[in-house]
Amino acid sequence: MDKDPAVVLAQTAGFCPGVKKAIDQVLELAQAGKAPIYTLGPLIHNTQVIEMLKQKGIRAVDALDEIKGQAGVIVIRAHGITPSLEAEVRARGLEVIDSTCPLVKNVHSVIGKYAALGYATVIVGDKGHAEVVGLLGYAGERAFVVADSEEARRLPALDKVNIVAQTTQEEDAFLKTAETVKSRAREAVISNTICKPTRDRQRETQELAGKVDLMVIVGAKHSANTTRLTALCRRLCPRTIHIETEAEADPAAVRSARRIGITAGASTPGWMTDRVMGRIKELRKKEAVSPFHALERLIELLVDSCAYTGLSAVGLTYVCMKLQGVRVEDRLLILAGLFVFSLHLINRVAEKGVGAVESRKVELFEKHQRPLIGAAFISGLLALGLALFLGTKIFAVVFCCWILGALFPFRSLHGQAGRVDFPGSRDIVTALGWGMVCACLPALHQGIVFSKANYLAVVFAILLVFIRSVMLGISAVHSDMIVGRENFYKALGARTTYAILASIQSLLTAVLIVLLAMGWKSRLVGSLLAGNLAFAAGSSTCHFRGTPKGFWAEAAVDGQFLLLALLAWLGGRL
């Protein structure tokens, strides 16, 4: 719908594996309740991500002297450090986590191997860059750093030399410089240590830059690899702009371009690139507001404000009531909607700024934080009031679930996370909460708890909501949100997560087929089977064709409950 084939995003844009691994490691430490956590220098060259990490208690220090006391963890970032500094760090007595990228470690060993054989080392890279400083530590006495051929020509005459590259160098420039160095030595070994992710990114960027008339490079201005990417693009596409955030996108340049290519440096999170992409598409949209555009905006607002999620909880509660054969009661439907809306909104507001919500929502929450917090608490109070009206047992259940749900985003305060958190906790807790309010409450209210139909509805609701939550979590991970092991996909990995989702979908389908064969509530079960198969087909397509992002994807995932409710309602009418 909002697809604009004239705006192309490079597949290699964003975090490289080394940066991803380093961020995951510090987040795991934070989630395990380790504190304080220090990183030697900023973990990555991206102001927004550093700010988010700070909010998780992860602090960057420039020197060891800034660390007082012997408590806490110190993290060596992906760039690596010199062996002497590493020895100093270890002597501090703090727990040390080495997040040096394995590809940087490979350069360390290449340098160390030739240095031990008596070779001098020439590093083609940026003087003073953290990675280059680390590499120099492995090179011994005879080591030089050159940025280009011009500097290489000024080197003294060399005997045996090993020429390496900073991992993010541009390949052609490195090879050219290496040839100049070679000409100044009696014997030279050229070790092309540019890492594969960098080479892939440069190759794709070059291809893209040759096909567009505007290239947008997203990333910090002080990030060496992003700056290099910009220079590379400028040679192929003179209209290349380097921006840090979507606010810097030049409307005139964006509107006048026929075709736009977007890429990002190794330290740019996917959500920032998505944010820029969204802004560019918005700028290119026609000024006139069509009825469809207005509808799109409305749905976007409903999705972002969690109102749509509340509505989908109403849909699921209706389905659960039908499955259990209880009277459909408006008060219970409203209670479920208010409860889910309230807790999702509280969680979203609490997570604003730590990267767990998409960029467009950050804007919404920044602009309307107070009214949204007010709406979250008022709807929570209304849900509790309604529950009280429905009976003390209902109230007790709703009260306990609401308190636990509202406290969930604050579970990691004061380093307590390790004691209360577990892998996939967000998705599991969400599924249990929805199962309780959508399936258990109607049964409790009408006195059929522990009946077979009640068990069926509870399991049905929990499994469906679990799938929903995991799918949204997958989308968050693919956008480089700062999420930890509370995210099932992040905690268990892609293979296990997809295997579990496929097993749950198969189990649900099998149970519905058996019930249909037994003739149990045939019209309702037939409708649910059709809805379930449609959703399973949709989610498998997404799995094979790439995880969708944006509010339409979220609307589709939550919309399954509305679809099931509609089918259940139609099934009852036929």
Minimum CB–partner distance for residue 32 and ligand SF4 (Å): 23
User: CA-CA distances (angstroms) from residue 390 to 205, 334, 439?
Assistant: 61, 12, 15
b/e string for 413-428 if b means 16 or more Cβ within 10 A?
A: eeeebeeebeebbbbb
264 binds ligand SF4 (CB under 6 A): no
198 binds ligand SF4 (CB under 6 A): yes
36 binds ligand SF4 (CB under 6 A): no
Minimum CB–partner distance for residue 168 and ligand SF4 (Å): 5
Fill in the per-residue mask, 380 to 419: x = in contact with ligand SF4 (CB under 6 A), - = not in contact.
Answer: ----------------------------------------
> Of the ranges 12-20, 315-323, 384-392, 452-460, which one interacts with ligand SF4 (CB under 6 A)?
12-20
Site for ligand SF4 in 80-119 (CB under 6 A): 101, 103-104
| Residue choice 7, 10, 14, 18 for contact with ligand SF4 (CB under 6 A) | 18
CB neighbour list of residue 345: distance below 8 Å, 6 or more residues apart: 305, 306, 372, 375, 376, 379
What residues form DSSP beta bridges with 96? 74
Minimum CB–partner distance for residue 172 and ligand SF4 (Å): 18
| Residue choice 52, 78, 326, 436 for contact with ligand SF4 (CB under 6 A) | 78
Please check whether residue 52 is in contact with residue 354, taking contact to mean a CB–CB distance below 8 angstroms. yes
| Residue choice 145, 195, 338, 501 for contact with ligand SF4 (CB under 6 A) | 195
> Of the ranges 191-199, 229-237, 428-436, 564-572, which one interacts with ligand SF4 (CB under 6 A)?
191-199
CB atoms within 10 A of CB 389: 11
Site for ligand SF4 in 293-352 (CB under 6 A): none
> Of the ranges 52-60, 195-203, 272-280, 397-405, which one interacts with ligand SF4 (CB under 6 A)?
195-203
Which single residue brings its beta carbon nearest to ligand SF4?
Answer: 18
Minimum CB–partner distance for residue 165 and ligand SF4 (Å): 10
Whether 131 sits among the annotated catalytic residues: the reply is yes
Distance CA 125, CA 107 (A): 13
> Of the ranges 17-25, 326-334, 417-425, 469-477, which one interacts with ligand SF4 (CB under 6 A)?
17-25
Q: What angle do CA 341, 346, 350 make, to 5 degrees?
A: 150
Distance CA 251, CA 118 (A): 56
Minimum CB–partner distance for residue 470 and ligand SF4 (Å): 27
What residues form DSSP beta bridges with 158? 185
Minimum CB–partner distance for residue 273 and ligand SF4 (Å): 16
197 binds ligand SF4 (CB under 6 A): yes
Question: Which is the catalytic residue, given 66, 95, 131, 244?
Answer: 131
> Of the ranges 10-18, 182-190, 252-260, 442-450, which one interacts with ligand SF4 (CB under 6 A)?
10-18
Position of tokens 């990228």?
101
**Nearer residue to ligand SF4 within complex by CB, 478 or 523:** 478
| Residue choice 49, 188, 209, 266 for contact with ligand SF4 (CB under 6 A) | 266
134 binds ligand SF4 (CB under 6 A): no
Q: By C-alpha distance, which of 316, 295, 360 is closest to 558? A: 316
Distance CA 381, CA 373 (A): 12
223 binds ligand SF4 (CB under 6 A): no
DSSP three-state, residue 157: coil
| Residue choice 12, 121, 168, 454 for contact with ligand SF4 (CB under 6 A) | 168
Per DSSP (E only), the strands in 237-325 are: 240-243, 260-264
| Residue choice 12, 31, 48, 167 for contact with ligand SF4 (CB under 6 A) | 167
Minimum CB–partner distance for residue 53 and ligand SF4 (Å): 16
Please check whether residue 329 is in contact with residue 394, taking contact to mean a CB–CB distance below 8 angstroms. no
**Nearer residue to ligand SF4 within complex by CB, 43 or 260:** 43
What residues form DSSP beta bridges with 164? 123, 191
For residue 473, give both structure tokens: 């979590």
For residue 292, give both structure tokens: 């469809």
Rounded to the nearest 5°, which phi and psi values hold at 422?
Answer: -150, 160
> Of the ranges 13-21, 340-348, 482-490, 556-564, which one interacts with ligand SF4 (CB under 6 A)?
13-21
> Of the ranges 58-66, 194-202, 302-310, 312-320, which one interacts with ligand SF4 (CB under 6 A)?
194-202
17 binds ligand SF4 (CB under 6 A): yes
* Burial class for 519, CB neighbours closer than 10 Å (0-12, 13-18, 19+): exposed
Minimum CB–partner distance for residue 224 and ligand SF4 (Å): 10
Q: By C-alpha distance, which of 261, 389, 290 is closest to 2? A: 290
β-pairing verdict for 58-61 and 73-76: unpaired
Distance CA 547, CA 471 (A): 9
Number of residues binding to ligand SF4, judged by CB under 6 A: 14
For residue 415, give both structure tokens: 């380093």
**Nearer residue to ligand SF4 within complex by CB, 199 or 352:** 199
User: CA-CA distances (angstroms) from residue 86 to 76, 94, 135?
Assistant: 8, 12, 13
Minimum CB–partner distance for residue 435 and ligand SF4 (Å): 41
**Nearer residue to ligand SF4 within complex by CB, 101 or 326:** 101
Distance CA 178, CA 191 (A): 9
Distance CA 540, CA 473 (A): 16
Position of tokens 């008022």?
378
Please check whether residue 419 is in contact with residue 33, taking contact to mean a CB–CB distance below 8 angstroms. yes
50 binds ligand SF4 (CB under 6 A): no
| Residues labelled as active-site residues | 131
Interface residue list for ligand SF4 (CB under 6 A): 16-19, 78, 101, 103-104, 167-168, 195, 197-198, 266
